[in-house]
Amino acid sequence: MASTDLIAQEVSRHDDSRRFVNDFSLQVATVNGSGSQSANTILLRSIFQMGIPVSGKNLFPSNIAGLPTWYTIRANKHGYIGRKKEIDFLIAMNQETAREDVLSLSPGGAVLYDEPMNLASLRPDLTFYPVPFDKIVATVCPEAKLRKLVKNMIYVGVMAHLLGLDMVQLEKALRKQFARKQKAADLNWGAAKAGFDYAASTLTKKDPCRVERMDKTAGKIIVDGNTAAALGCMFAGVTVVTWYPITPSSSLVETLIDYMKRYRIRPDGKATFAIVQAEDELAAIGMVFGAGWAGARSMTATAGPGISLMAEFAGLGYYAEIPAVIWNIQRVGPSTGMPTRTAQGDVLFTAFLSHGDTQHIMLFPASVEECFTMAQDAFNLAEWFQTPVFVMSDLDLGMNNWMSDPFLYPTQPIERGKVLSKEDLDRLGGFARYKDVDGDGIGYRTLPGTEHPAAAYFVRGSGHNEKAQYTERPDDYENNMLRLAHKFDTARTRVPKSVETGSGHERVGIIAYGTSHWAIIESRDQLRDEHGLETDYLRIRAYPFPREVQDFIENHERVYVVEQNRDGQLFDLLRLDLPVEQVAKLRSIAHCNGLPLDARSVTDELMNLEGN
Amino acid sequence: MATTPTAEPKTNRIGLTVIDYKGGKTTLCAGCGHNAISERIIDAMYEMGVKPEHVAKFSGIGCSSKSPAYFMSRSHSFNAVHGRMPSVATGALLANHNLIALGVSGDGDTASIGIGQFIHLMRRNLPLIYIIEDNGVYGLTKGQFSATADLGSKLKTGVINDLPPIDTCALAIQLGASFVGRSFSGDKRQLLAMLKAAIAHRGTVMLDVISPCVTFNDHEGSTKSYKYMKDHDEPLQEISFIPSFEDIDVDYDAGTTVDLTMHDGSHLRLRKLDANYDPTDKLLAIKTLSTAHHEGETLTGVFYIDPNKPTFMDLLHVTDEPLATLPAEATRPPKAVLDEVMESLR
């Protein structure tokens, strides 16, 4: 479209007036430690309660106080809840980043800012709303030391007016946030109202971002992935949790502790669980394997550096065949990397974690709902296959707020796998721990404490034969390793299946996993609407790859593998797994800047690779 | 021959013979102190009438850590990675606190690569018997010094150790282990009595057992050799142990003997060779160890004991039934709980 075409511009301007209704991204720029989290959650919930699909992403520093933090709220009438690349509305509360934040706004956007910052002259194409925060807060908050916190609620009130938020919903969200603190609730409600009144009497609405009531969130919940995972583990019947704090996984265990104390302590005060904060990740994973060996459903949660430390034990778990569940809430590496930014950067490392020929089952949750269900899958798979199972979440999923349908009560039973009891041993007379009796590569195990003279076996990381005896015999070693490979192959049929969407007859396929999913569903619509390119989409949910992955690639001319790391790690894993003629069909789209993947980046890159 | 009466094999109080406590054939060197320790473990478990199926054995990596394969084959055993046995034993006990846990480590496995986990194990007072088979060298890698080698001790190659040793006993006492002692693999009587008391104790038992390496550290100039121990072993007490299931001999001289009632009702009697020694006094224990070390003596005996200190498992308040075998009804909350949580997230 030529930019000199006046009629076209008119039409587009007309469209614009509705384009940002229930479809915009707003960003709150503040400093961490200023207490803006409550304000942002209330803003998010108010929009949600008006029936509008919404998502919240916290972009925060690895720091406790004083460094820049951005919180992004995306409202989208179509239900897209991935990150949007463009920011339409900025709430500028941080002098340090204000200039750069304003310069990066999309054309025609708006800025609400603390008046003394004097931002209005920075760009002529934006709408600026100055607000004298200090003056307003002084009138509603007599206690000077609380003003820094209460100040945030003023922008919530101002935004309520500018966006057209329902104040009834806002008050409801606010009172939920401060449920156990009546005084704080009243104080903050006063501030929100003062912000609203100021905006109503002083500001003239000029930007197009608005909300209108919809009905797309009825019955839904808002929750972060770590909370969902914690709930999943509790309902999966976890009994032993050993961990070492590390961002972004700590909140998974901390939330789990809260829930377990509330719902897993018997009336006599006895706990049906043990949670231990270990001295480091080496000990955390050692305890997990000790507990798994002795028969508990045991788990830990960690992130990249912890995974590195767990490498040696992971090999023991694989080789000695001990159930364990390890949550890896991935963050940006290498090394310490960016601890508070998101990535899918541990996929390749985790797949083969440890020395020698080692392979691990991995699950890739894409949603909070899958954090809940895959917790149950993970424990069942770990006990069924007697091996560590890694659940590969990430910071975006784990720590951000996601809208979801409520979780369903588990229907799958708690499967403890092939464990022989005293009675079984009475009948059998004995057993060989690592013998493939059933042809699936999985042996039978006994638990320590089993009251039978033939129950004991010696578990070791050194070479062993079918009877778990030490061996250096070439045939014993090789047979055992081949059985382990066979067992891993069996897992292909038991891990969560991939999810295919699309007609199934398109030439172009897309493969993605985990949180990349949210960008893909939006990008596929962009590809269709903007470029006329229809695509099929396969979302992989587990490694080893189930058979349908090959079928999908077989049925497409080109398959784009989209992920959030530099080197295309799942792309590489696929290349190792696929027949050579299929490998030639794969193309990698890898995204690595620490921000959650957005649809626009995928669409642009894919069209670029398509030669457009 | 037919007329020769066959004697019934001797059995212990649960009807098992000593054969029921045997393990596989040792692959350690002939004369290795570790083999003697394995023998004493068998004797102690047999005499105490411990059911082998109730015992779980743990070890790390090294000569010492191989030894659980050489005793009590009817007990489950976990040979972990180097220096990380404490975490595995901790996890197993979290899963099943009814297990009688016995860990065997070495001086390298404990005091070098494993010092971090060792320290935190002692802090927790986990109900576990932790034996260090201490020979001052790395045997499996052919004779390098470990961190318990004494200052000035000499390797076969003539290399002199110029770093001070870590005293694992002093460390364990300071950190919170509730039963700490040192023995010598060559002192059958003392070691057996200490092991039996260890089985009766509830809490972490840390036993540092000097166990000479006949291949790499039994020469002139070594402070962990049979000869050195013969000359410098300085027992702190004469130790006798009366298990709870045996009649107690009431006669002992309260002036020279400390009588300690163990958690299970057994009695540990320590006839003091040093009149002032009180094994419940932490500071005195550490001071006594330092003094002996300064004088070049290897003090053995029970240095510290607190029979009633709460263990890690006490602090966790878990169900009496092991967590490992709780049924699904006990570990999966009902649907009403999920409904309640979902409602709070709306």
pLDDT digits (tens, 9 = 90+) for B195-211: 999 999 999 999 999 99
pLDDT at A356: 97
Residue A220 CA to residue A53 CA, distance in Å, equals 10
pLDDT at A9: 44
DSSP assignment of A479-547: HHHHHHHHHHHHHTTTSPPPEEES-S--SEEEEEETTHHHHHHHHHHHHHHHH---EEEEEE-EESPPT
Q: Write down the residue that tokens 């910071």 correspond to.
A: A395
- In this complex, do B345 and A223 lie within 8 Å of one another by their Cβ atoms? yes
- In this complex, do B331 and A264 lie within 8 Å of one another by their Cβ atoms? yes
Q: Which residue out of A222, A239, A288, A300 would a mutagenesis test of the B interface target, given it has the greatest number of B Cβ atoms within 10 Å?
A: A239
Helices A167-177 and A147-163 meet at what angle, rounded to 10? 150
- Among residues A189, A221, A197, the alpha carbon closest in space to that of A48 is found at A221
- In this complex, do A312 and B81 lie within 8 Å of one another by their Cβ atoms? yes
CA distance A148 to chain B (A): 28
- In this complex, do B323 and A289 lie within 8 Å of one another by their Cβ atoms? no
Joined together, the tokens standing for residue A290 give 């000790």
The alpha carbons of chain A give a radius of gyration, in whole angstroms, of 27
- In this complex, do B78 and A290 lie within 8 Å of one another by their Cβ atoms? yes
- Among residues A540, A530, A521, A537, the alpha carbon closest in space to that of A604 is found at A530
CA distance A249 to chain B (A): 20
Closest by Cβ to A240, choosing from B58, B69, B323? B323
On whether the CB atoms of residues A172 and A131 are closer than 8 A, the answer is no
What residues are paired with A458 via a beta bridge? B77
Q: Considering only CB atoms, which chain A residues are within 8 Å of B81? A: 286, 312-313, 316, 461
For A16-202, CATH number out of 3.90.1170.50, 3.40.920.10, 3.20.20.70, 3.40.640.10 equals 3.40.920.10
- In this complex, do A273 and B318 lie within 8 Å of one another by their Cβ atoms? yes
Same fold yes or no, A16-202 and A223-404 = no
Closest by Cβ to A279, choosing from B51, B94, B120? B120
- In this complex, do B80 and A286 lie within 8 Å of one another by their Cβ atoms? yes
Closest by Cβ to B319, choosing from A259, A271, A458? A271
Q: Considering only CB atoms, which chain B residues are within 8 Å of A285? A: 87
Judging by beta carbons within 10 Å of its beta carbon (0-12, 13-18, 19+), is residue A404 exposed, middle or buried? Answer: buried
Closest by Cβ to A448, choosing from B87, B90, B99? B99
Q: Considering only CB atoms, which chain B residues are within 8 Å of A457? A: 76-77
Count CB-CB contacts under 10 A for residue B61.
24
> What is the average pLDDT value for chain B, to the nearest integer?
95
Closest by Cβ to B342, choosing from A271, A282, A407? A407
Q: Is the pLDDT of residue B1 over 70?
A: no
- In this complex, do B335 and A409 lie within 8 Å of one another by their Cβ atoms? yes
- In this complex, do A294 and B99 lie within 8 Å of one another by their Cβ atoms? yes
> For A264-414, where are the alpha helices, taking DSSP H only?
281-293, 304-309, 311-320, 347-351, 368-385, 395-399
Joined together, the tokens standing for residue A599 give 């649809």
B/e letters for A333-360, b = 16+ CB within 10 Å, e = fewer, are beeebebbbbbbbbbbbbbbbbeeebbb
DSSP A445: B
On whether the CB atoms of residues A436 and A443 are closer than 8 A, the answer is yes
> Please, which residues have CB within 8 angstroms of residue A254's CB and are 6 or more apart in sequence?
none
Is residue B251 very low, low, confident or very high in pLDDT (cuts 50, 70, 90)?
Answer: confident
> Model ipTM?
0.97
User: Residues 118..147 of B with a Cβ closer than 8 Å to A: which?
Assistant: 119-120
**Domains in chain B, ordered, with CATH?**
18-325 (3.40.50.970)
Top pLDDT among B161 and B5 is at: B161
Q: Is the pLDDT of residue B139 over 80?
A: yes
Is residue B8 very low, low, confident or very high in pLDDT (cuts 50, 70, 90)?
Answer: confident
Judging by beta carbons within 10 Å of its beta carbon (0-12, 13-18, 19+), is residue A269 exposed, middle or buried? Answer: exposed
Evaluate the CA torsion angle A558, A561, A566, A567 in order and state its sign: negative
- In this complex, do B94 and A276 lie within 8 Å of one another by their Cβ atoms? yes
- In this complex, do A283 and B335 lie within 8 Å of one another by their Cβ atoms? no
* Model pLDDT for residues A198-218, shown as the tens digit of each residue: 999 999 999 999 999 999 999
Q: Considering only CB atoms, which chain A residues are within 8 Å of B118? A: none
- In this complex, do B78 and A293 lie within 8 Å of one another by their Cβ atoms? yes
Q: Considering only CB atoms, which chain B residues are within 8 Å of A236? A: 332
- In this complex, do B325 and A295 lie within 8 Å of one another by their Cβ atoms? yes
- In this complex, do B318 and A235 lie within 8 Å of one another by their Cβ atoms? no
Judging by beta carbons within 10 Å of its beta carbon (0-12, 13-18, 19+), is residue B231 exposed, middle or buried? Answer: exposed
Query: % helix / strand / coil in chain A, to the nearest 5?
Result: 40, 20, 40
CA distance B20 to chain A (A): 9
Query: Side chain identity at B247, as an amino acid letter?
Result: D
Residue in chain A lying closest to B324 (CA) = A296
* Model pLDDT for residues B258-294, shown as the tens digit of each residue: 999 999 999 999 998 876 899 999 999 999 999 999 9
Q: How far is CA A492 from the centre of its chain?
A: 23
What residues in chain A have per-residue pLDDT under 50?
A: 1-14
On whether the CB atoms of residues A328 and A393 are closer than 8 A, the answer is yes
Q: For chain B, how many helices (H) and strands (E)?
A: 12, 13
Q: Which residue out of A404, A409, A412, A419 would a mutagenesis test of the B interface target, given it has the greatest number of B Cβ atoms within 10 Å?
A: A409
What residues are paired with A558 via a beta bridge? A508
Sequence ranges of the domains in chain A:
16-202, 223-404, 422-491, 499-609
Q: Considering only CB atoms, which chain A residues are within 8 Å of B342? A: 221, 406-407
- Among residues B39, B110, B119, the alpha carbon closest in space to that of B72 is found at B39
pLDDT at B5: 67
On whether the CB atoms of residues B68 and B104 are closer than 8 A, the answer is yes
The CATH architecture that domain A223-404 belongs to is 3-Layer(aba) Sandwich (3.40)
Q: Which fold has domain A499-609?
A: Rossmann fold (3.40.50)
- In this complex, do A313 and B84 lie within 8 Å of one another by their Cβ atoms? yes
pLDDT at A117: 94
pLDDT at A302: 98
Residue in chain A lying closest to B65 (CA) = A460
pLDDT at B2: 56
Residue B98 contacts A, CB cutoff 8 Å: yes
Joined together, the tokens standing for residue B70 give 């050489």
Residue B342 contacts A, CB cutoff 8 Å: yes
User: Residues 285..314 of B with a Cβ closer than 8 Å to A: which?
Assistant: none
Count CB-CB contacts under 10 A for residue B339.
12
Q: Considering only CB atoms, which chain B residues are within 8 Å of A231? A: 338, 341
- In this complex, do A279 and B116 lie within 8 Å of one another by their Cβ atoms? yes
CA neighbours closer than 13 Å in the CB half-sphere of residue B222: 28
Residue A417 CA to residue A387 CA, distance in Å, equals 11
CA distance B133 to chain A (A): 19
Closest by Cβ to B91, choosing from A227, A287, A462? A287
Residue A145 CA to residue A157 CA, distance in Å, equals 21
- In this complex, do B80 and A278 lie within 8 Å of one another by their Cβ atoms? no
pLDDT at A442: 98
Q: Write down the residue that tokens 């992955």 correspond to.
A: A549
On whether the CB atoms of residues A23 and A78 are closer than 8 A, the answer is yes
Residue A82 CA to residue A80 CA, distance in Å, equals 6
Q: Residue length, chain B? A: 346
Closest by Cβ to B87, choosing from A222, A286, A296? A286
CA neighbours closer than 13 Å in the CB half-sphere of residue A43: 32
- Among residues B167, B164, B142, B151, the alpha carbon closest in space to that of B62 is found at B142
Closest by Cβ to A313, choosing from B56, B81, B116? B81
* Model pLDDT for residues B96-128, shown as the tens digit of each residue: 999 999 999 999 999 999 999 999 999 999 999
> Please, which residues have CB within 8 angstroms of residue A592's CB and are 6 or more apart in sequence?
A332, A343, A345, A564, A565, A566
B/e letters for A480-515, b = 16+ CB within 10 Å, e = fewer, are beebbeebbebbbebbbebebebeeebebbbbbbbb
Virtual torsion, Cα B307, B311, B313, B319, nearest 10 deg: 50
Mean pLDDT, rounded, for B153-161: 92
Cα-flanking dihedrals φ and ψ of residue A126, to 5°? Answer: -110, 160
Task: Give, for B86, the enclosing helix (H) or strand (E).
Answer: helix B85-95
pLDDT at A493: 97
Q: Is the pLDDT of residue B61 over 80?
A: yes
Count CB-CB contacts under 10 A for residue B176.
19
Q: How far is the CA of A399 from the CAs of A79, A228, A232, A521, A586, in angstroms? A: 20, 10, 16, 21, 32
pLDDT at B96: 98
Task: Give, for B305, the enclosing helix (H) or strand (E).
Answer: strand B298-305
pTM for the model stands at 0.96
CA neighbours closer than 13 Å in the CB half-sphere of residue B147: 14
CA distance B197 to chain A (A): 22
Residue A327 CA to residue A301 CA, distance in Å, equals 4
Q: Considering only CB atoms, which chain A residues are within 8 Å of B332? A: 235-237, 410, 414
Residue A374 CA to residue A393 CA, distance in Å, equals 10
CA distance B332 to chain A (A): 5
Residue B111 CA to residue B130 CA, distance in Å, equals 13
- In this complex, do B86 and A283 lie within 8 Å of one another by their Cβ atoms? yes
Residue A91 CA to residue A449 CA, distance in Å, equals 62
